[in-house]
Amino acid sequence: MIYEDPYLLKSCIVAENRKNRPAVDELVHTCPFCPGHESDIEKVWLEVKQENNFLIKIVNNKYPICGYNHELYGVHDVVIDTPRHLQLPKDFSNSHWTILLDTMQKRWMQIAQDPKIEFIQIFKNSGKNAGASIRHSHWQIVALSQIPYQMAQQYSHYNRFYDQMQNCYICHKLEEIDKSDIILENDKWIAIAPTSSEFAHETWLVPKLHRKHYGELEPQELEKAGALLKTLLTAYEHLKENVSFNICFMSGGLHNALDYHFYIKIIPRLTHWAGFELATHCYINTIHPKTHVQLMRSILKE
């Protein structure tokens, strides 16, 4: 279960088995995600092959925070997005990105069929500063029978805006966005620097059409998202070499009336939260969002 304190607005999941996770950096021969180490994998949910080798593989997490027979009901998967131990997502081809996003969406659809599942979170930790314990590029999918408390609160507040304005909050923000907040865009997506950024150089990738969650994105939207993610991650590498980062897919709940606007957060881990942030959940951003836009635009132009 998720332990909640509704008065201090906090929640946590206890998963003691997570302390047993392996730590693999450059050592290919010990990596459970590399080809030839299939015995380290308990269950393969989806696999895309290319030239007799896997290109993308979605497997169960051996150290899950939830499970079908767990105190907290749910699914915890690992998405191995490349067979190459040291390959970075910025170096994926556009077609590789499209296949990856499509495969993760297929798994999302499978999981969403379970009527007990209320919430699905897809995220990527890349680099030690972003929480990755294994160097080999991968994502995680966590699906829960209970919406995390802070997200439930966010959904509730988000929908108060709709009740007042009869419009989605993010749709409304996109209609009034200042061009100085736009990093780049295509016909399906817009990459922006949100004014409420929690981290220096944070970027949001937002679909121009209203999509409640990842499962509603259409094939062309996945293709265009992949192209922008590749471009943005390449730009981040020019901003700081070997930068650690998180990517978070921000989705609405599955089986309730709450509405939301799906978006993707890219968070480079250039700084660390300190005492003030940990105490107050008010984040000190050392880079103004408009400065971030200008820097990213300059890098992309070059």
Q: Where are the domains of the chain?
A: 3-301
The whole-angstrom distance between residue 36's C-alpha and the CA centroid of its chain comes to: 28
CA-nearest of 22, 153, 10 to 78 is: 22
Give the pLDDT confidence score for residue 78 in this predicted structure: 96
Give the pLDDT confidence score for residue 178 in this predicted structure: 87
Q: Which residues of the chain have pLDDT under 70?
A: 1, 7-9, 19, 22-27, 256-258
CATH assignment of 3-301?
A: 3.30.428.10
Give the pLDDT confidence score for residue 26 in this predicted structure: 63
State the helix-helix crossing angle for 219-239 and 289-301, rounded to 10 degrees: 90
Task: Report how far residue 185's alpha carbon sits from residue 207's, in angstroms, rounded to the nearest whole number.
Answer: 10
Give the pLDDT confidence score for residue 8 in this predicted structure: 63
Task: Report how far residue 223's alpha carbon sits from residue 13's, in angstroms, rounded to the nearest whole number.
Answer: 34
